[in-house]
Amino acid sequence: MVMKSFLPQEAVVLVGGLGTRLGPLTRDVPKPMLLVAGRPFLEYFLLRLKNEGIRRVALAVAYHSQVIKNYFGDGRRLGLEIFYSDPEGRQLGTGGSIKEAENLIHGKQFFAMNGDVYFEAPLDRLWREHCRGAHEITLALASAADSGRYGRVRLDGQGRVASFLEKSATASPGPCLINGGIYVFQRQVLERIPSGVDYSLERDLFPVLAGRSLGGAAFPEAFFIDIGTPEDYDRANRELPMRLKEKGYAGQ
């Protein structure tokens, strides 16, 4: 059972993917470094984490890692402590990349996140749900009009993920809850993940834990957007600047 009551102040952020669906936009920069309103998407992402109470961030880099390191350095400019987990360009998947950052994690619980998604799920509420359910991992779930691109998550009546179906060409159409790319981890769950290999949370770990120790908290009204396709990157440039201005991030 989770006994710790204070919000974890550290997070592992996955920023090492190739971003192939964005074509030439990511030829020379990692996807999270694409500009939105003149600044890297990742900068706004990190400012939001700071606003939510995060103080230490391990950036799990890989593709064009030096671009991220050169821009953010030690994080002092943003009021954060930033560290880097760098497998020297190897693609280790979402699970393998978090495992690679294990030595940078201090606490028994921590947040893990996809760095190409802007999802306004409150971290304190996600944390409370994690503590209440005593799960190994708790997922923040967003609402989507169609599961085809994201896969689909179903909750039971106790806040557990009953089933986790990764995206596929045969996914059922219609509105659903989806994986929002923000998680709370119990550190011991990293023992399930092999070191130094390509390992996917979505395909290799979450389906195994579903129905047992995988929790979920739904935030259907929270703003959600990723920048994984040219269409959504264009949408981010249209919609995010106003939201960021309202939140005060644009002036930081």
Q: Where do runs of H (alpha helix) occur along 2-146?
A: 41-51, 65-72, 93-100, 123-133
Task: Answer yes or no: 69 catalytic.
Answer: no
Token pair 């993940």: residue: 193
Q: Which residues have C-beta within 8 Å of that of residue 157, sequence separation ≥ 6?
A: none
Task: Output Rg (C-alpha) for the chain, integer angstroms.
Answer: 17
CB under 8 A, 24+ apart: contacts of 205-209? 205/95, 205/137, 206/137, 206/139, 206/161, 206/164, 206/179, 207/164, 207/165, 207/166, 209/136, 209/137, 209/161
Catalytic residue among 4, 167, 245, 247: 167
| Residue 204 DSSP one-character state | I
Whose CA is closest to 176, among 137, 136, 142, 199? 142
What's at 135, amino acid-wise?
A: H
Confirm if 101 and 59 have CB atoms less than 8 A apart.
no
Residues designated catalytic: 167
